[in-house]
Amino acid sequence: MRTTKPDFRFAVPLAPWCEAWDDAAGMLRVTLGPLVDLAARLWLAQIFFVSGVLKTTTWVTTVYLYTAEHPVPGLDPTTAAVIGTGIELVCPVLLAFGLGTRLAALPLLLTAAFLQFTYRELTDHLWWMALLGLLVVRGAGPLSLDRMIAGHLAGSAIPGGALWLRLAGFLERWLAPVWMAMVRCGLVWVLWSAGFAQASAALQAVGAPLCLLLAIGLATRPAALLLALAGTLGLPETVALGDTVLRLLLLLTFAAQGAGQLSVDRAVMVPLFARLCPGLSGDPAWLADAPRVVIVGAGFGGLAAARALRHARARVTVVDRRNYHLFQPLLYQVATATLSPADIAVPIRTLLRDQPNCRVLMGRVSDVDTDGRAVVIGERRVPYDYLVLATGARHSYFGKDAWEPFAPGLKKIDDATAMRSRILAAFERAEASDDEAERRRQMTFVIVGGGPTGVELAGAIAELARQSLREEFRAADPRTARIILVQSAPRILPVLPESLSAAAARSLAALGVEVMVGARVEAIDEAGVTIGNQRIEARTVLWAAGVMASAAGRWLGAERDAAGRIVVGPDLCVPSRPGVFAIGDTAACNGADGRPLPGLAPVAKQQGEYVAQAIRAASEGRRAPGPFRYRDLGSMATIGRKAAVADLPGLRLSGAVAWWLWGLVHVAFLVDLRSRIAVMFDWFWSYLTYGRSTRLITGAEGGGD
């Protein structure tokens, strides 16, 4: 068998374009595909279910239709009406949930075909048949119950589970390509004959090549997207074109999933791209003796670097002491019982499972042998040619480490769940106490640090106390809780413009949060906190004031700044350590203005992508990219319900508009579709009801036996 030569040196200049094309196709498949599948199932379900409900309410007319309009051969009208109505009431429900999708779609497909060929020919019937046929041969997408149970069906107690899986595989392998080719051609025929042929000459000039491309399955995804745009905006609404939504769903299906096996894309373009860019071929021989890239840390920076090396001739190893990637910007919402840890954490292996040149190791790095070019994990040594240190940061108490047991910080899931238990248990202890002074101490919360984390924590705790818990206690009144935000600087959110800091302070005050600026914490103990000369009795003190880089700088013996971050060069390389890079919170890197870049997720992601480019350039003998330049896309912070501030390039926002924008941006930055949907659902429920979905007290705070 022919294999790609391992020493291929990217002589073909089209390789980057092939990679970009493949990345775009993958993004459409992963992000658009599940949503289009769900939308198609729901749209078809409502069409048939509404029809079934109407038939039950006009039963005499329904029986008449099966008698005179479209009788079913071999069945009396009443029996046919019962069967047909039952199909339209039961199958759409299964279709909507994606349970037994193929079995539910098949009767509906037969119903659509029966109506088309025995009752009335309508383009809508053809669209029903096309979409239902795709569901029969391909099954439901990821957002379905079928996909959730498919992996366990063969070994389950469901009769014929293994047989059903084999049948589904047969349909997808042999019938799906044929059906998709038929649907493509039928869709193009209707679009042209009933739409573009009657349109203006300019629209015909656009539609003709796009229809041809879709029909033969060449550049299918962009052709389908452009046809969806042209067909929605340019074509008139006519009966011959059918339901616009159904037509759009069909086009978006091909945009997301591609043309299928029987297409020029699959027969010619995929092999051609694999030849031009061996990273797309999946040929393991191509990776033989490839450079070894070790990435320590699977945060935003490390994950961005690994993903950017997807098509590189490199053997990538991602090492992390945990098995999940954490979306830290929403960690405070776990701490305040709005989100579950699973909503903001995804297994690293899940995120990188489609990247054949990457493996994941779970372990704690204890040292780096720069002379032997190896990362030390316990007794194990992992050799590297290029090393990327993306180890993040931990809490810094500015030399007052004795405060940590009394003022926990927020950097990992364990911190968030412990903080959640600490906050909720304070209200429970206040309810159980008969001492009014102790009750006040229990319901006094002090947050040290007025950056984004501190501001968001203060606002979330205030909403929890004044809204979510207000009617659930009898002796203690959560609405009387005292939330104090302490900031040593003259204002909160000092990285934002002064006007936005003032807006954030006003929003916090509206929630009942006391903001103390220019105040320095002198002492923290189990009974409270001393701020200047003022003593505040508080059982719950939370730390959001500072961070310290990980031990990566000590592993290398490299130059570090006051926060322990490794001082790197303009190319993010560690001086005198060839092939070693530091990014994110691990690196001390100055921006274009000469000031250190902040420890934000966008900074780490851009640095990870840049380092991947530099590694590829070095390993492939190409010119190195220029110095790293951070593209500042702005900063945001949310204070509470419908209150946020946003400092964007050329635009400053506060209030409800900034809050909606903050939510959209954070949902978009979540790394997988399941997390986006779960977070949106929890936020929607919380917005409507003020409810908190994960008010669990676990661990030591929970007590018990």
Is 306 found in the same domain as 421? no
Is 258 found in the same domain as 303? no
Cβ–Cβ under 8 Å, residues 296 and 387 = yes
Rounded to an integer, the average pLDDT of 534-563 is 93
Give the DSSP H or E segment for 673.
Answer: helix 673-689
pLDDT of 701 reads: 60
Is residue 402 in some structural domain? no
Return the closest-CA partner of residue 251 out of 174, 186, 172.
186
Cβ–Cβ under 8 Å, residues 362 and 320 = yes
Number of domains in the chain: 3
Band (pLDDT 50/70/90 cuts) for residue 11 is very low
* φ and ψ of 542, to 5 deg: -120, 140
Cβ–Cβ under 8 Å, residues 340 and 692 = no
| Sequence-ordered strand ranges (E) for 511-553 | 513-517, 521-525, 528-531, 534-537, 540-543, 547-549
Higher pLDDT, 670 or 634: 634
Is 553 found in the same domain as 540? no
Q: Measured between alpha carbons, how far is 352 from 360 in angstroms, rounded to an integer?
A: 8
Is residue 10 in some structural domain? no
Is residue 659 in some structural domain? yes
Band (pLDDT 50/70/90 cuts) for residue 7 is very low
Is residue 280 in some structural domain? no
Is 260 found in the same domain as 151? yes
Domain that holds residue 523: 407-545+641-702
Domain end marker among 586, 619, 652 = 619
Band (pLDDT 50/70/90 cuts) for residue 506 is very high
For residue range 93-141, list pLDDT tens digits in order: 999 999 999 999 999 999 999 999 988 999 999 999 999 999 999 999 9
Is residue 8 in some structural domain? no
Band (pLDDT 50/70/90 cuts) for residue 272 is confident
Is 538 found in the same domain as 604? no
pLDDT of 3 reads: 43
Read off the DSSP letter of residue 279: G
For residue range 455-466, list pLDDT tens digits in order: 999 999 999 999
For residue range 576-635, list pLDDT tens digits in order: 999 999 999 999 999 888 888 988 899 999 999 999 999 999 988 889 999 999 999 889
The reported pTM is 0.85
State what percent of residues in the chain have pLDDT above 70: 95
Band (pLDDT 50/70/90 cuts) for residue 265 is very high
Band (pLDDT 50/70/90 cuts) for residue 666 is confident
For residue range 308-365, list pLDDT tens digits in order: 999 999 999 999 999 999 999 999 999 998 899 988 999 999 999 989 999 999 999 9
Give the C-alpha distances (Å, rounded to integers) separating 604 from 94, 416, 601, 630: 44, 22, 5, 10
Is 295 found in the same domain as 168? no
Is 492 found in the same domain as 464? yes
Please check the confidence at residue 535 and state whether its pLDDT lies above 60.
yes
Please check the confidence at residue 479 and state whether its pLDDT lies above 50.
yes
Band (pLDDT 50/70/90 cuts) for residue 233 is confident
Is residue 627 in some structural domain? no
Is residue 9 in some structural domain? no
Please check the confidence at residue 9 and state whether its pLDDT lies above 60.
no
Band (pLDDT 50/70/90 cuts) for residue 8 is very low
Return the closest-CA partner of residue 85 out of 109, 105, 55.
55
For residue range 287-312, list pLDDT tens digits in order: 888 999 999 999 999 999 999 999 99
Give the DSSP H or E segment for 643.
Answer: strand 643-648
For residue range 423-434, list pLDDT tens digits in order: 999 999 999 999
CATH code at 591? 3.50.50.60
CATH code at 478? 3.50.50.100
Average pLDDT over the chain, rounded to an integer: 91
Q: Measured between alpha carbons, how far is 40 from 27 in angstroms, rounded to an integer?
A: 19
Is 470 found in the same domain as 391? no
Is 117 found in the same domain as 57? yes
State what percent of residues in the chain have pLDDT above 90: 72
Band (pLDDT 50/70/90 cuts) for residue 223 is very high
Among 19, 88, 456, 609, which one carries the catalytic annotation?
456
Is 168 found in the same domain as 208? yes
Is residue 281 in some structural domain? no
Is 495 found in the same domain as 580? no
Rounded to an integer, the average pLDDT of 51-70 is 94
**456 among known catalytic residues:** yes
Per-residue H/E/C for 487-519: ECCCCCCCCCCHHHHHHHHHHHHHCCEEEEECC
Domain end marker among 588, 619, 650 = 619
Please check the confidence at residue 280 and state whether its pLDDT lies above 90.
no
pLDDT of 470 reads: 86
Lowest mean pLDDT among 31-40, 223-232, 381-390, 494-503: 223-232
Is 176 found in the same domain as 307? no
Which are the contacts of 338, defined by CB distance < 8 A and separation ≥ 6? Answer: 460, 682, 683, 686, 692, 693, 694
